[in-house]
């Protein structure tokens, strides 16, 4: 005979459960409760109190613990995602300064915010500056040269907008590594940017054509495999087929990056075949010939 007063309720089975063929569970009260296989006495009311110990909560089955863990992790991730999202411009204005390192300067304007990192090594200038608009779109300058938005696509997405706090923090960390000087490739790219901006602001077509040609030459000089624009191919073809000796002399001098004569002949042949209704697909080696 066992006294149930010495056992916690978790060790006492007062119901009998059975699974029906349809999957439902039949529960029937037991006339005589029984103990679970892992039961042991832990309550001794008539003995010293130190013999009676409150047992820790019963552990769930491994399957239940895994499900609970996955659910808890999913809830934490959803909460983190919600907290990471920048709701609107007002939310950004109220909280962005908490994310800024000490060396950054903030200037509030009516419809945007300017954030800059100063460089005091020589003359006081902004090494890096960020402009955040009311639509949360971002523009970045490095040494007063605007950074191509495509270079920030991996951080801010296609629209170059700051929609998440983690993206903003990663952007600051990325820009914090910018140095005061440019390498040769960056200097060349910046020169092209300045020249193209001049073309956009100028109305002198003759000058714009000259500068556009210069921009193409600068861009070609930085490519391992030249990619010629249509206007360059048209100009080079006209030059070569009218003055082949002068074209070869200029090309061989290395002063300009020009298409190979074989490339121009093949291109003209394909254009002729196209006009005749026969298209000969050029090989990759033909199109990439420099």
Query: If you ran DSSP here, which 8-state letter would residue 11 be given?
Result: G
Q: What angle do CA 264, 271, 278 make, to 5 degrees?
A: 135
Q: Which pLDDT score is estimated for 72? A: 93
Question: What residue ranges do the domains of the chain occupy?
Answer: 1-56, 90-180, 185-272
Asked if 226 and 178 touch (Cβ cutoff 8 Å), the reply is: no
Q: Determine the 3-state secondary structure of 30 from DSSP.
A: strand
18 DSSP β-pair partners:
26
> Alpha-carbon distance 95 to 165, whole Å?
9
Whose structure tokens read 């600068």? 218
What are the tens digits of pLDDT across the range 140-171? 998 878 888 888 999 999 899 999 999 999 99
Report, as ranges of residue numbers, the positions in the chain whose pLDDT lies below 50.
Answer: 274-290
Q: Which pLDDT score is estimated for 180? A: 66
Q: Which pLDDT score is estimated for 273? A: 53
What are the tens digits of pLDDT across the range 127-141? 899 999 999 999 999
Q: Which pLDDT score is estimated for 272? A: 66
Q: For the chain, what percent of residues have pLDDT higher than 90?
A: 32
Q: What is the pTM of this model?
A: 0.55
Query: If you ran DSSP here, which 8-state letter would residue 93 be given?
Result: H
């Amino acid at each position: 005979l066992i006294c149930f007063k010495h056992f916690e309720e978790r060790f006492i089975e007062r119901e009998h459960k059975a699974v029906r063929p349809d999957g439902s569970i039949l529960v029937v009260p037991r006339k005589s409760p029984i103990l679970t296989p892992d039961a042991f006495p832990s309550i001794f009311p008539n003995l010293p109190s130190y013999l009676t110990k409150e047992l820790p909560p019963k552990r769930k089955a491994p399957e239940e613990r895994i499900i609970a863990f996955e659910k808890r992790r999913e809830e934490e991730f959803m909460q983190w995602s919600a907290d990471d999202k920048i709701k609107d411009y007002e939310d950004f204005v109220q909280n962005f300064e908490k994310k800024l390192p000490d060396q950054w300067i903030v200037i509030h304007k009516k419809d945007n915010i300017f954030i800059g990192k100063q460089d005091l090594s020589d003359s006081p200038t902004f090494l890096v500056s960020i402009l955040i608009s009311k639509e949360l779109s971002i523009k970045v300058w490095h040494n007063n040269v605007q950074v191509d938005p495509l270079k920030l696509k991996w951080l801010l997405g296609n629209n170059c907008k700051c929609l998440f706090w983690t993206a903003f923090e990663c952007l600051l960390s990325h820009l914090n590594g910018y140095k005061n000087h440019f390498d040769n490739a960056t200097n060349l790219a910046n020169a092209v940017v300045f020249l193209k901006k001049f073309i956009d602001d100028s109305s002198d077509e003759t000058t714009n054509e000259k500068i556009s040609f210069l921009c193409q030459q600068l861009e070609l000089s930085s490519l391992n495999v030249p990619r010629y624009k249509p206007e360059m191919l048209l100009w080079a073809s006209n030059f070569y087929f009218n003055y082949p000796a002068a074209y070869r002399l200029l090309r061989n001098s290395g002063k300009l990056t020009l298409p190979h004569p074989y490339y121009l002949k093949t291109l003209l042949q394909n254009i002729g075949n196209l006009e005749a209704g026969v298209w000969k697909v050029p090989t990759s080696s033909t199109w990439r010939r420099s």
